């Protein structure tokens, strides 16, 4: 059977690896006691429980080697968010831990590859853990007086009239909008401020390449 766009049923299903990490998530803190007893070097949080998607990540750092020695998480999120972040914690801690410089270069695509794929509409879930990890690393930099290594995560206003940001464009692409017309339909960007259209198109291509390798 095919869906309305002609895609096969396979697009709707989770891989065995995704299901394994959802039903048996690695490195998850399950109780408040575990949270209270965990002595982290950095913590990052993204999302909001009000909208249903929220991610919190704790990291411990081997300061001599400048690598992540341990990584834990909690989430309010779907199966994809849980599985993606579980796999992320495995990636950054396996083989003795990942160098912080390499951890900052991780992309959601790297996580999805290890999960053997996610349904297209669930790709954005892999971004939660990725963003929370960067936030935790920035928090570690702050706590360890390494302000020169902090990477700003602020949003830039692209559409000056409707105050639409590059983060809004990023979210639209992650939710499946792959053309300017599709992004405009989701965000209304460029309807009044037409001067921003060239920049919007460049950002769409940037995020497509960043997350999907296109």
- Per-domain boundaries in the chain: 9-149, 157-212
Which tens digit of pLDDT belongs to each residue from 136-154?
999 999 999 998 998 877 7
DSSP of 156-207, one letter per residue?
-EEETTTTEEHHHHHHHHHTT--SHHHHHHHH-TTSS-GGGHHHHHHHHHHH
pLDDT > 90 in the chain, percent:
53
pLDDT digits (tens, 9 = 90+) for 43-53: 998 875 554 57
Domain range 9-149, its CATH number among 3.40.50.300, 3.90.1010.10, 3.40.50.1370, 3.10.20.30:
3.90.1010.10
User: Cβ(41)–Cβ(66) under 8 Å?
Assistant: no
Residues sharing a CB contact under 8 Å with residue 20, sequence separation 6 or more, in sequence order: 83
Cα 201 from Cα 184, distance rounded (Å): 10
Q: What is the DSSP letter of 28?
A: B
Q: Is the pLDDT of residue 2 over 70?
A: no
Integer CA distances (angstroms), 94 to 27, 68, 90, 103, 127, in order = 12, 10, 6, 12, 20
Mean pLDDT of 71-88: 88
157-212 is classed in which CATH architecture?
Answer: Orthogonal Bundle (1.10)
**Of 33 and 119, which is predicted with more confidence?**
33
Q: What's the whole-number average pLDDT of the chain?
A: 86
By the 8 A CB rule, do 66 and 99 touch? yes
Tokens coding 17: 């690896």
Q: Which of 51, 71, 78, 196 is catalytic?
A: 51
Same fold, 9-149 and 157-212: no
Give yes or no for residue 168 having a pLDDT over 90: no
Is 196 known to be catalytic?
no
**From 71, 78, 125, 196, active-site residue:** 125
């Amino acid at each position: 059977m095919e869906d309305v766009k002609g895609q096969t049923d396979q697009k709707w299903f989770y891989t065995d690896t995704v299901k394994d990490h959802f039903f048996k998530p690695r490195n998850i803190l399950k109780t408040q006691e575990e949270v209270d007893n965990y002595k982290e070097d950095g913590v990052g949080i993204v999302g909001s429980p009000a909208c249903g998607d929220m991610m919190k990540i704790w990291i411990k750092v081997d300061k001599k080697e400048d690598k992540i020695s341990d990584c834990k998480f909690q989430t309010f999120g779907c199966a994809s968010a849980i599985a993606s972040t579980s796999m992320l914690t495995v990636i950054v801690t396996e083989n003795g831990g990942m160098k912080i410089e390499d951890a900052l270069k991780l992309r959601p695509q790297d996580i999805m590859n290890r999960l053997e794929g996610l349904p297209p509409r669930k790709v954005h879930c892999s971004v939660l853990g990725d963003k929370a990890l960067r936030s935790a690393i920035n928090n570690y930099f702050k706590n360890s007086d390494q302000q020169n290594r902090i990477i700003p995560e602020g949003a830039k206003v692209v559409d000056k009239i409707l105050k639409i940001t590059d983060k809004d464009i990023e979210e639209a692409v992650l939710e499946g909008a792959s053309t300017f017309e599709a992004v405009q339909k989701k965000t209304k960007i460029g309807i009044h401020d037409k001067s921003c259209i060239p920049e919007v198109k460049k950002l769409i291509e940037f995020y497509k390449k960043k997350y999907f390798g296109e």
